[in-house]
Amino acid sequence: MTIQFNEETFRDDYTFKNSDWAIQRFPFPFHEDSYMYSVNMEQHRGGPEGSIYEKRFDVDEHYVAEMRDRAMVLADDPLRCQSLPHMTLAGWDLLELIMVSKSEDYPDLFELHRDGDQWRWVNKPLGIDDTFTFLDETTLPYGPMEYITRQAQGDFCVLDQRDDNLWMDAGTVTTQADWSLDFDIGMNFFEWHAPVPLAHEKGIFVRALKFLLNIQQGSPARRLNWTMTVNPLLDTSPENYHKWGIQKTTITPDNIGQKQHLRVELQTFFRLPRSNALVFPIRCYLCNFDDMMTMPKWGRRLHRVIRDLPEELATYKGFIDNRPMMLDYLAKFDDGLPTSPGIWPDKDSEPPLQA
């Protein structure tokens, strides 16, 4: 296999780590030295070779460990995967999309063999080799959406489109940034975004919904979102806040570089063919401050973004109490030099940190 998968954990002893390759391709979410909510949508039609944008569904060194963590979450709380009865066909659409994409984009890792409705799926990293009848749930160990999302990094929300709105009527959500599928299931686009500050007043969600309703099959879109997480936790759900919320108090000036992580979501949107549903994958990437500071451009920019972020957003993203300590750490990596536009580190052209 071309990718070396890490043996690591996202809980308890937190042995998660990023290789140099993973750091270089980390989706740093700030294209300039300030941040404010925007629709920030673009077409999801590939990207630079080796980047997270290159393939339709990115597979990286964390794949096997993330799938192991998902299985543990679902064993503890099966309601993290739900599908309302009318969404079964959309689940089959999603299964087809992921299987076709992965087998075409990573032929050394995944195989899909189709003979009419008789399909054989081979997932080499997870040791899966299954034959089933497409559109026949009885031939799979789980429903189609759950079956395939147990084998795909990131969360998946499957949205029904009706009444000029999008409704969260199915999903597998185990790596979320403090929101609950069990609470949001059946809600429409505006209802599940209700807690977000500032964006409603700016009309962000009205424009975003208009864009999403018009996504066509074969023309997926993408955007980046971000927050902060203490320790490399995938499961920061409200159901488990009593376990992870207290960890915010463990940050000190001595350990902040290792424990404080920027949590970035690559959010993509695909129109599904039979059901006309919209699938909303939310892929989580984690990088600690120490690793990010190996990229001088990111060090300069992250300090400026966190320093100037409106208080409402720092509160909503959950790091308002730790912001002073973050800024004390980040200030050491901001020498005031200008930064190049765009999210990529530009390490070969960006000047090194000046003493």
| Residues with active-site annotation | 223
Q: Which amino acid is at 28?
A: F
Least Cα distance to 78 among 9, 13, 166, 143 occurs for 143
Q: Which amino acid is at 72?
A: M
Q: 122 by DSSP, 3-state: which?
A: strand
Show the CA angle centred on residue 69, arms to residues 68 and 74, nearest 5°.
100
Residues contacting 106, CB < 8 A, separation 6+:
55, 59
Dihedral angle sign, alpha carbons of residues 338, 341, 345, 348: negative
Cα separation, 106 vs 98, in Å, equals 11
Q: 242 by DSSP, 3-state: which?
A: helix
Q: Which amino acid is at 248?
A: K
CA dist list (Å): 179 to 148, 201, 315, 317: 22, 21, 15, 12
Q: 153 by DSSP, 3-state: which?
A: coil
Half-sphere CA count of 9, side-chain side, radius 13 A: 6
CA dist list (Å): 56 to 99, 101, 173, 236, 350: 11, 6, 19, 25, 29
Beta bridge partners of 188: 167
Cα separation, 5 vs 328, in Å, equals 35
Residues contacting 52, CB < 8 A, separation 6+:
25, 27, 58, 60, 266, 283, 285
Beta bridge partners of 285: 264
Least Cα distance to 93 among 214, 195, 217, 262 occurs for 217
